[in-house]
Amino acid sequence: MARNTLLERVWAEHTIDGTGGELVYVDMHLLHELTSPQAFEGLREAGRKVRRPDLTVATADHDVPTRSRRVPLSDSIGRRQLALQIRNSREFGVELHPMNSLGQGIVHVIGPQMGLTLPGMLIVCGDSHTATHGAFGAVAFGIGTSQVEHVLATQTLRIAKPKSMRVLIEGTPAAEATAKDIALAVIRAIGTDGGTGHLIEFQGDVIDRMSMEGRMTLCNMAIEAGARSGMIAPDETTFAYLEGRDRAPRGEDWERAKEAWAAYRSAPDAEFDREVVVDVDGLRAMVTWGINPGQAVAVDGRVPDPETMADPVSREAGRRALDYMGLRAGQRLADIPIGTVFIGSCTNGRMEDLRAAAAVVEGRKVAAEVTALVVPGSERIKRQAEAEGLDRVFTEAGFEWRNPGCSMCIAVNGDRVPTGTHSASTSNRNFEGRQGPGARTHLVSPETAAATALLGRLAGSAEIS
């Protein structure tokens, strides 16, 4: 039985007395347009209100077009969902950051950016990558549409506590390895079902040194290791990120909050339901070669041979991956021609990601055969990047500079990878068809995506000098 862990502590604080721990209170409910219309419809039919509109915030991200905001949406379901979101938010008094507003962005980007995401909170959203918010020491996880309705109506959720799992990251990665590369290494090590039923707490010196953006990238991908969520104990890095954010506490409240937050950590003698150590010593820039995020190797490596894999499940998955990806065992990753490069998503669409990619791109040109796009994670990030001149760095190199949204992460509004061609993408999922029918996705860091765009083949940023 787990005890004295960060998860246990936050969970206990949210358990509603007399319910045997099965009912928890929700501090922040985030909404997007895809998984909320039916939930509001349910409320309407039952004649109910939103219990705590002050703890409920909505944004438009999945369906928004990123090319031009003025053109009619090509997708009529998307158009309907966006219209319903506006109507529902008005009718139920929910704060909405719609398309073309300063607050708009991918839900997992705007929560932290606005200071809505704070240590010790219990946060839910009808979206699996809600795990991202765990980077602040919050318990944050995705829920289904019927649960969205339950939270809207009651501000509570009936749910069993996940098991707790410690992933201790050890060793010193190579300078080129980013949080994304560490995330891919973790998933490769523990498997895409390695975290099933658990909430992962990441620990170790690498985590202590990691920026908030990096921690969000890592927690974002905990879900791709099968976990319910990811979590990192708050520290000075967390506080420095939050200080002065719109909704973060201020003045004396800030001092008091910081003191309280410092206690959100697993005790030295904490017992987890499961513990694993992942060694990232010397880790290089990583790239996926297959159709799940665990099928990853160093970018200067070769496509593995499934026939040499001891585990029959991995062998079969490897065969299937090579078939879908059109790759041969032993082929150099660097020989795969890349037609599309996508920098964006809730995994790697933040300021630090855009700065890192721009530093690689600056003064260089995108290879002739590559279509490359940068989609900032939020409108504020877009404007900040423009203030820093990053948009010009990208556009002068031949990248398209888009409006914020989920975009090519999930192939909406025509932001697709052409069938049968390869993309380098900073998103988090490389499942068959994820970036369009027959699209062949390679997951990478922003730096690797940038270098790949310049060379027209998979390449780490170390290759650009």
Ligand X SMILES: CC(C)[C@H](C(=O)O)[C@@H](O)C(=O)O
Residues flagged as binding site for [4Fe-4S] cluster: 346, 406, 409
Residue 428 is a binding residue for ligand SF4 (CB under 6 A): yes
Burial 129-154 (b: 16+ CB within 10 A, else e): bbbbbbbbbbbbbbbebebbbbbbbb
Q: Nearer to ligand X by C-beta: 108 or 380?
A: 108
- Other beta carbons within 10 Å of 245: 16
**The two three-digit tokens of residue 239, written as one number:** 């506080």
Cβ 97 vs Cβ 79: under 8 Å: no
Strands 296-298, 122-125: pairing is unpaired
CA 461 to CA 465: how far, in whole Å? 8
Q: How far apart are CA 62 and CA 264, in angstroms?
A: 33
Separation CA 254–CA 330 (nearest Å):
55
Residue 142 binding ligand X, by CB under 6 A:
yes
Write each residue from 393 to 412 as x if it is in contact with ligand SF4 (CB under 6 A), else as -, in one continuous string: -------------x--xx--
Residues 465 and 462: their CA atoms lie apart, in Å, by 7
34 binds, among ligand SF4, ligand X, none (CB under 5 to 8 A by kind): ligand X
Both tokens of 430, joined, read: 């490389």
Total number of residues that touch ligand X (CB under 6 A): 8
Q: Which is nearer to ligand X, 123 or 207 (CB)?
A: 123
Rule CB under 6 A: is residue 149 a binding residue for ligand X?
no
- String marking each residue 10-49 x if it binds ligand X according to CB under 6 A: ------------------------xx--------------
Considering only residues 8, 27, 33, 127, which one is a binding residue for ligand X as defined by CB under 6 A? 127
Extended strands (E) in 178-223: 198-203
- CB-based contact 288:430 (threshold 8 Å): yes
* Choice from 257, 410, 449, 453 touching ligand X (CB under 6 A): 410
Which among ligand X, ligand SF4, none contacts residue 183 (Cβ within 5 to 8 A by kind)?
none
Q: Which of 128, 192, 314, 384 binds ligand X (CB under 6 A)?
A: 128
Q: Does 31 bind ligand SF4 (CB under 6 A)?
A: no
- The length of the chain, given as a count of residues: 465
Residues in contact with ligand X by the rule CB under 6 A:
34-35, 62, 127-129, 142, 410
- What residues make contact with ligand SF4 under the rule CB under 6 A? 61-62, 106, 127, 129, 345-346, 406, 409-410, 427-428
